[in-house]
Structure formats: C-alpha cells, structure tokens
Chains A and B, each alone.
Chain A
C-alpha cells in the first residue's frame, strides 16, 4: 500500500481514538465527581462487587490483545494464514469477554445491585454496558475482517489498512477496560 495513504490512515485513526478517549474520559470524570462527593463508597447498603469476574475479563481481554497484535505483525510480514489463526483466537477471547460481562451483570443483579438502585449501581451497569457495546461493535468488525481474510488470502497488502485500524481499536478497548477494572472495581 502507498506510504502516503498509510500515513493518512494512521493519522485519522489516531484522531478518531482521541475522540473516543474523550467519551470515556467524560464518564471517568463523572465517576470521579460522584465518588469524591459521596461520604462512603460504595454507598450504604451496597457491598463491593466481587473481583472474580472482572479479573477474568481483564485476563481475557489482555490475552486477546496479544493475539490481535500478533495478527497485525503477520499481516505486516505478508502472511495471511497465521494471521487468520490469531484473528480466530482474538475473536474467541473477545466473545468470551462478552460472556463474562454478561455473567457480571447477572451477578450484580443477584446481589441486589440493580440498575435502578442508585448512583453506584447506575455507574457499575451503565459504564460496563457502554464499553461492552463498543466491544460488540469491534467484534462485528473483526468478524467482517475474518471474511476479508478469506477473500484476500493471498494479498496481505489489501488487508493492511483494515487490520491495522481494527487492531488499534481493539487495543484501545482493552486499555479502557483495564482503566475501568482498576478505577471502578479495584480502587
């Protein structure tokens, strides 16, 4: 692919990710305000969310990011077949992440943290929903990439742009999740 075109894509994706980062930054800012203005956190009547499921989610998304990175390296080297394997693994781990998120929501509901039971529950549910919605969208894109890999099996160059952008977005969501993990669940 043309070098100048690559620069354009890198630049545009960077700007787009800055935009997205602002969206999540706003959420975190809101969180900081709610948390710092509350006397106790979690508020009276709520327990901390168990760390088991969030930790599993974190591990899943971290490993998936690693495979995703390998996939990009393969494409850069012009090897579509190994990239395909790494893509499959990324996809599988990504869906597993969504499953753990669903379990997390169920878990929260079981322990009385319903969406509508105040600000703590609102944050825990809504922020993870918003992130999960992005993960879902990214997975849809990765599935599309899966078919593109099939179609352009012999032509890594044609796949460069989509792989590169998809990979960046995936890492971005990983980073956001890790921030959420530490800020919402651990800290």
Chain B
C-alpha cells in the first residue's frame, strides 16, 4: 500500500500559521519537543524536592523551599509530598517522555524516514498537539487548586482516588487531563499507523524501514488499542467522583458501596503494562538504529530485532497481572501471569544479543548519540533483569511497593528511555535545526548523567531490598529503616548532581540553536532518507519522492567504490 497520496501543501507565510497553528509535522515535532523538555524540567524539580525530603526530612529545601512552602518554613509538608510524587510520576510519563519520544521523534522521523511529505492527516496532527497542550494546562491548573493536586499516586487506585480519599478537585482535573491526553495520543496513533502503512516511499518494504520507525509504529499500535482502556477507567472514576456512581466504591466508609476497587487496578494495568512498552519501544528502535549507524556496520539481525520487538508488543498485552500479585488474584491467574511475564525475556534477550552483535567487529565512532545508545544497553540490562525479581511471585511479595520497584522502573524509564531520548535529540538536532550541537558539552552531559544516574537508581534498589517501602514521606519513622539514611543521602546527592548536569544539556541546546556550527546535509554519514535532503529540510521535505532501493543500514560494504563506507537508501545495493 506504499506510495500513497502525497500532495505538496502550500507553504505557510504568516508567523502564526508557520510556528503556532502549523500543519507541518516538523514544526509540530519541535512544539512537542519544547513541551516535553519543559515538563521534564518541572518533573525533575519535583524529583529533587522528593529526594531532599527523603534524605533530610524536616529540613527546609534550599533556595526554592521558603518560596514554595512559606507556611512550613520551606519544609515540604506531608500532603504536598504525596502530590509531588503523584505529579512527578504523571508528568514524567505522560507529559515529558511521551511528548519527547512519541510526539517529537514520532512526528519528526516518521514522514522523513519513510520518504513522505507529511503525515497522512496534518490537521489531525495539529489537533493532537493542541489537545496535548490543553491537557498540560489542566495538569498545571490542578497544582493550584485549593486542596492541591492529585495525591493518590500516578496509578490513582480507588478508593483513595474517589471522594473517600481525595475530596479536592485536583484528582478530578487529573482524570480529565489524562482523558484529554488520551484523546490526543489516540489521534496521533491513528495518524502514525496510517502514515506508515500508506506513505512509505515506493520500494520501501516493512523490513526496509529503519528500526526507529518499527519502534514508533508498534508504539502507535499499542497506543491505539490500550489508551481507550484507560479512557474508560478514568471516565468511570470521574463519574464515581462527580455523579454518584459506585463503580469502585466498597467497604464501610462507602455508604452505598457495592462496587469493586480492584477492578480499577485491572483496567489500569491492562493499559499500564502496555504503556511502559509504549514508552520504551521508540527508545529501543532508536538505539537499534544508532548502534548500527555509529558502528558503521549493518544492524545485526535487523529482521530478528524487528520481530522481537513485535513479539514484545504482543506479549505485553498478556502480563499486566504482575502488578497485582499482592491483591491475591486466584492462584491460577497468579501463576499464569508469572509464567507469561517470564516469556518476555526471550525476545528481549534476542534483541539484546543483536545489539551486541551490531557493535561486534564494528568500527565504532564514539559521538554523543552513540555514547547515549551504549548507555541504554547498560542501563536497560540492569532495568530488564531486575524485572525478573518482580515477575517472580514470591520475591515480589517482599519487593512489591518497595524502592526496589522504584529502582526497576527508573532504570527502565528514567534511565533507558531518557537516555534513548537524549541519543535521539543529539542525533536529529542537526536535521531539525540545521545546527550541530556542541560535542564537548554533550560528552560532559553524558558522563555527568550516566554516573550519578546509577548512583540514584542502584541506590534505590538497595534501600528497596533493605525493606524501605515507597511513597513514604519520612522513612525514618521506622527504626529499622534508620540504617538506610546514608544510602538515601547518597541517592539524593547523586540526584542533585544529575540534575545539575541536565543544565549543561539545556545550555547546549539553546546555545547550539543560536550559535551552533552549521550542519551539513549528512553530518553523521548515514544512509537513511532524511539525510538525502538539506538540513533543515524544506517545507515539503522531498521535491521528488525518493525511490528506495536498499535497506537503512548499508555500512561497510567492501564492494563500495565511491569513497564512502555507506550507501543511501536511494542507491542500488552494490553487490
């Protein structure tokens, strides 16, 4: 079905139509990027407030504290702490990582890498961004409501998230914001799926697509199928809150309770587990491509990698129960979910082996995108392997809801996905803005992120194994946790360091945008379609729709005679 309808849209002329209400996927991608980075900053500052509280309970947060919490002399109060981690989780997942990985890279890469002039539905695309913005505003507004923002955790389990536990309007706004964002993401997903199916350049089969596109495409499929499940869940939760229904109410405190709070957990995780793969699939795709690009070698077993990612996508729909072992599902369900969870490590191990196979006997160039990609291999190894302790029912009975889980998912999300996002940013920045990012600052940023990051997240796993449970304002209420103070302090110092090094990134980003060295058409010497056109590309991307003649990873072919070690996808494969 490739080579579909690909018209040239009129180039916008006014500032508003060019940069604000733009239909151009490249501009929308940048809007999502700014949006995501802004929320990453907000979520990150929240993380630092959380960390400070855990290491130095009862002490005022330096500088910002007295401004934010004048009533308590700068100390984070307990109810605010609950809002902080709830909004930190929500913001990081839905408003930082999703817009950057899916909104920005999805929009930017899909049309360019498959040789299209734009998304299949530019208007829908624009609408998707503006809905995301509305949702972002709702979240910000919810922070300033009288009783404060949502405070029941990003999972917002009822009955805590119903009126019984959260009377304020913050939780209702949270539900609304998530619903609106869901609508936005679903629109995006419909668009991405259609674009990939119908607008691939002539000659581009599915296995000629870069693996980045595979990741984004599988993500879009999961989004389209599972976001509505969460949508239904939050509608019912909202109705419980505002209309008097009792879907999730039960127990003595619920006067008319005959509902079932656990049903929400099922609904949430039927969505929630695929969601974590929604976040990481684009990162896996980007890493699989970049490892090949910078090892100057074809991606090892590219087809197997694509199929393994597909297998993870399919399996991810069947394992959600591993988040609910402690609710005592029936023994049969418990055992099935454990076994199914374990099977995910087969495809994971396969693409892991392929990643290592890609750099094996390569000729590796350690540019910043490559450093970040190699970093992902390291941290995802840790994150993935720690998932196995949690997938095992008996060990999970101890580890569930401890910092071990927090460490696991920060290794997979806050480390793997975040580093994948940085890799992508450094890699496509020249194409996006026509400027190179400063390589020296990029390397400082890499090491300054990578080292403290392991201090934070490995430290979390240590205190978790030591028995510290999550979402607690002051762990040291428990005598038995006092011994963990030094580790908590180390985590906090690491987090402050990591935060500080993110400033290097922001400075580099803005500096390069203004004063960066001009980027050539193909600074990384890579053969995928987006590097066959100028940086930044013209409004309609391709004057002539390219014809694809070989795969995206043609590096190091000994028969090449043109002085390059790579081939463009538009060139006939040299044999």
Are A20 and B228 also in contact (CB < 8 A) when A116-B244, A125-B245, A126-B245 are?
yes
CB of B1 to closest CB in A, whole Å: 7
Are A122 and B193 also in contact (CB < 8 A) when A2-B5, A11-B198, A20-B228 are?
no
- Residues from 381 to 423 in B contacting A, C-beta threshold 8 Å: none
A-B contacts counted at CB < 8 A amount to 110
Are A15 and B194 also in contact (CB < 8 A) when A8-B120, A23-B232, A119-B259 are?
yes
Find chain B residues with CB under 8 A from A119 CB: 246-247, 258-260
* One of A25-33, A86-94, A172-180 contacting the partner: A25-33
Are A19 and B260 also in contact (CB < 8 A) when A116-B244, A126-B243 are?
no
Docked CA distance A25–B231 (Å): 11
A130→B224 contact, CB < 8 A: no
Map CB proximity to B onto A1-21 as digits: 1 under 8 Å, 0 otherwise: 010110110011001101110
Q: Chain A: which residue is nearest B183 at the CB level?
A: A19
A115 within 8 A of B: yes
A4→B236 contact, CB < 8 A: no
Find chain B residues with CB under 8 A from A118 CB: 246, 256, 258
A115→B243 contact, CB < 8 A: yes
B245→A5 contact, CB < 8 A: no
Map CB proximity to A onto B247-267 as digits: 1 under 8 Å, 0 otherwise: 100000000101110010011
CB of B483 to closest CB in A, whole Å: 44
A154 within 8 A of B: no
- Name 5 A/B residue pairs within 8 A (Cβ), A-sorted: A11-B198, A15-B193, A115-B244, A116-B256, A119-B246
In this complex, how many residues of chain B approach chain A with their Cβ under 8 Å: the count is 39
9 closest cross-chain pairs (CB), A and B: A116-B244, A122-B245, A26-B232, A23-B228, A4-B5, A4-B4, A22-B228, A5-B5, A12-B194
Find chain A residues with CB under 8 A from B229 CB: 22-23, 25-26
Q: Which of B186, B191, B197, B259 contacts A19 (CB 8 A)?
A: B186
CB of B255 to closest CB in A, whole Å: 9
- Residues from 16 to 59 in A contacting B, C-beta threshold 8 Å: 16, 18-20, 22-27, 29-30, 33-34, 37, 43
Find chain B residues with CB under 8 A from A15 CB: 189-190, 193-194, 224
Docked CA distance A12–B235 (Å): 24
Are A19 and B190 also in contact (CB < 8 A) when A33-B260, A117-B256 are?
yes
- Residues from 443 to 472 in B contacting A, C-beta threshold 8 Å: none
Find chain A residues with CB under 8 A from B256 CB: 116-118
List the interface of chain B (C-beta within 8 A of A): 1, 3-5, 120-121, 186, 189-191, 193-194, 197-198, 224-229, 231-233, 235-236, 239, 243-247, 256, 258-260, 263, 266-267, 270
Of listed B3, B121, B191, B258, residue having the most chain A CB within 10 A = B258
Docked CA distance A27–B329 (Å): 20
CB of A2 to closest CB in B, whole Å: 5
B186→A26 contact, CB < 8 A: no
B259→A122 contact, CB < 8 A: yes
A116→B245 contact, CB < 8 A: yes
Of listed B120, B194, B235, B266, residue having the most chain A CB within 10 A = B194
In this complex, how many residues of chain A approach chain B with their Cβ under 8 Å: the count is 37
Q: Which of B5, B224, B233, B243 contacts A26 (CB 8 A)?
A: B233
Find chain B residues with CB under 8 A from A130 CB: 235
B231→A43 contact, CB < 8 A: no
Docked CA distance A37–B262 (Å): 13
Name A's interface SS.
Answer: helix
CB of B339 to closest CB in A, whole Å: 22
A19→B228 contact, CB < 8 A: yes
Q: Which of A4, A27, A114 contacts B232 (CB 8 A)?
A: A27
B121→A12 contact, CB < 8 A: yes
Find chain B residues with CB under 8 A from A22 CB: 225-226, 228-229, 232
Q: Chain A: which residue is nearest B245 at the CB level?
A: A122
CB of A101 to closest CB in B, whole Å: 16
Q: Chain B: which residue is nearest A2 at the CB level?
A: B5
Q: Chain A: which residue is nearest B227 at the CB level?
A: A19
CB of A13 to closest CB in B, whole Å: 9
Find chain A residues with CB under 8 A from B5 CB: 2, 4-5, 8
Find chain A residues with CB under 8 A from B245 CB: 115-116, 121-122, 125-126
CB of A130 to closest CB in B, whole Å: 6
Docked CA distance A2–B120 (Å): 13
Find chain A residues with CB under 8 A from B3 CB: 4
Find chain B residues with CB under 8 A from A19 CB: 186, 189-190, 224-225, 227-228
A43→B258 contact, CB < 8 A: yes
Find chain B residues with CB under 8 A from A122 CB: 239, 245-247, 259
Docked CA distance A15–B197 (Å): 12
Docked CA distance A30–B194 (Å): 31
Q: Which of A18, A26, A126 contacts B267 (CB 8 A)?
A: A26
Q: Chain A: which residue is nearest B4 at the CB level?
A: A4
Q: Chain B: which residue is nearest A1 at the CB level?
A: B5
Q: Chain A: which residue is nearest B247 at the CB level?
A: A122
Docked CA distance A8–B258 (Å): 46
Q: Chain B: which residue is nearest A33 at the CB level?
A: B263
CB of B183 to closest CB in A, whole Å: 10
Map CB proximity to B onto A128-146 as digits: 1 under 8 Å, 0 otherwise: 0110000000000000000
Docked CA distance A119–B267 (Å): 17
Docked CA distance A27–B263 (Å): 11
CB of B200 to closest CB in A, whole Å: 12
Q: Chain A: which residue is nearest B1 at the CB level?
A: A7
Are A12 and B186 also in contact (CB < 8 A) when A19-B224, A116-B256 are?
no
